[in-house]
Amino acid sequence: MVTYLFFLLATLAVGSALATIMSRSTVNSALFLVLNMVSLAGVYLLLKAQFLAIIQILVYAGAIMVLFLFVIMLLNVDDEQTIFSKKTFRNAFGFLLGGIVAGQLFYAIAGYTGVLPDISAEMTSVGTVEAIGKTMFTEYLFPFEVTAILLTVAVVGALFIAQRNPKSQN
């Protein structure tokens, strides 16, 4: 069952990644990237890393992708032809870096001989919501509480900057 699910999610992830880079419209690309991240979150769940899966959806598929979409819609970039037709140094450098990363990934994959990674008992106990919650509310309680203050001041500060001066309205 787990194996079948893995193949389903993995196909979905690879397919949506390909669709991301191949689709013509940037908005479609961004939406395919969301699908890619959600299916990756599914793979994390299969590896018993619940917390990572939730964070993947909340942070990447949620917050960061919304930012992506906003930027795409505000900037209105659909002229991708002109970006890649120029042979600038920056593009060449980007391709070089991409090539290096791809090579590294292939090297790592080629070195692996098993079918699926073995999940040890230790790995499953660390990544659960339960284990992380326990650590967060005992050992790391203090930084957790201060983070609450940090988020409060960020929200109050943002509203403070955004609000208008009542006097200047008149």
Is residue 161 part of the contact set for other proteins (CB under 8 A)? yes
* Residue 150 to residue 144: CA distance in whole angstroms: 10
When the beta carbons of 18 and 148 are compared against other proteins, the nearer one is 148
Least distance in angstroms from the C-beta of 91 to other proteins: 26
* Residue 33 to residue 65: CA distance in whole angstroms: 8
Q: Which residue has the tokens 């509480």?
A: 145
Q: Quick one: DSSP state of residue 48?
A: T
Is residue 170 part of the contact set for other proteins (CB under 8 A)? no
Least distance in angstroms from the C-beta of 76 to other proteins: 25
* Residue 66 to residue 11: CA distance in whole angstroms: 24
Least distance in angstroms from the C-beta of 162 to other proteins: 10
Least distance in angstroms from the C-beta of 145 to other proteins: 8
Secondary structure (H, E, C), 71-122: HHHHHCCCCHHHHHHCCCHHHHHHHHHHHHHHHHHHHHHHCCCCCCCCCCHH
Is residue 160 part of the contact set for other proteins (CB under 8 A)? yes
When the beta carbons of 99 and 143 are compared against other proteins, the nearer one is 143
Among 91, 104, 135, 152, indicate the residue that binds other proteins (CB under 8 A): 152
**Binding pattern for the stretch 111-140 against other proteins, x by CB under 8 A and - elsewhere:** ---------------------------xxx
When the beta carbons of 58 and 156 are compared against other proteins, the nearer one is 156
Buried b (16+ CB within 10 A) or exposed e, 118-151: eeeeeeeeebeeeebeeeeeeeeeeeeeeeeeee
Binding positions for other proteins, rule: CB under 8 A: 138-143, 146-147, 149-150, 152-154, 156-157, 159-161, 163, 165, 167-168
